[in-house]
Amino acid sequence: KVIFTNNSVLSPKDLQHKLRRLGIDVGEDHFYTSALATAQFLASQTPEGSCFCIGSAGLFAALYDVGYTMNDVNPDYVVVGEGEFYNYALISKAVNLVRSGSRLIGTNCDVVDKAERGYAPACACLMAPIELATGVKPYYLGKPNPLIVKS
């Protein structure tokens, strides 16, 4: 059995430990995140490519694991996932890279996520300024994209 999640912040190992602390024992190989789906999709499209990434450790790890490098000059892709490390400078960099030809990818199309204290903006909200400033519609992986299941 596989647990699909649009969470791109945590790695499968992080998710395994989180559930273990709740008394639920699930192996890390049972988790498939939107970060993994994104990384595998990019690797299938442009093997050993590069990206400018706005996101968290789970997304960066997934991208490195498929042989991707981080590049803020002329990346193949601009990839956006959830995370606390999101600011005006990163948005501006992403806008300029997309306007220069990098393809725009989102880990999932969720608008809002449950958070510790209520709700938090999710990937589609974080992607909105980049989309508006470039006129480029992002390609979203994760649920409900059927590629997450096919991967």
User: What pLDDT, on the 0 to 100 scale, is given for residue 114?
Assistant: 85
DSSP β-ladder status, 118-121 and 112-115: antiparallel
pLDDT tens for each residue of 11-51: 878 888 888 998 988 888 888 899 999 999 999 999 999 99
Give the chain as a DSSP string: --EEE---SS-HHHHHHHHHHTT----GGGEEEHHHHHHHHHHHHSTT-EEEEES-HHHHHHHHHTT-EE-SSS-SEEEE---S---HHHHHHHHHHHHTTPEEEES---SEEEETTEEEE-HHHHHHHHHHHH-PPPEE-STTSTHHHH-
pLDDT tens for each residue of 121-147: 999 999 999 999 999 999 999 887 777
In 10 A of CB 67, how many CB atoms? 12
User: What pLDDT, on the 0 to 100 scale, is given for residue 121?
Assistant: 92
The whole model's pTM is what? 0.91
Candidates 151, 147, 139; CA nearest to 77 is 139
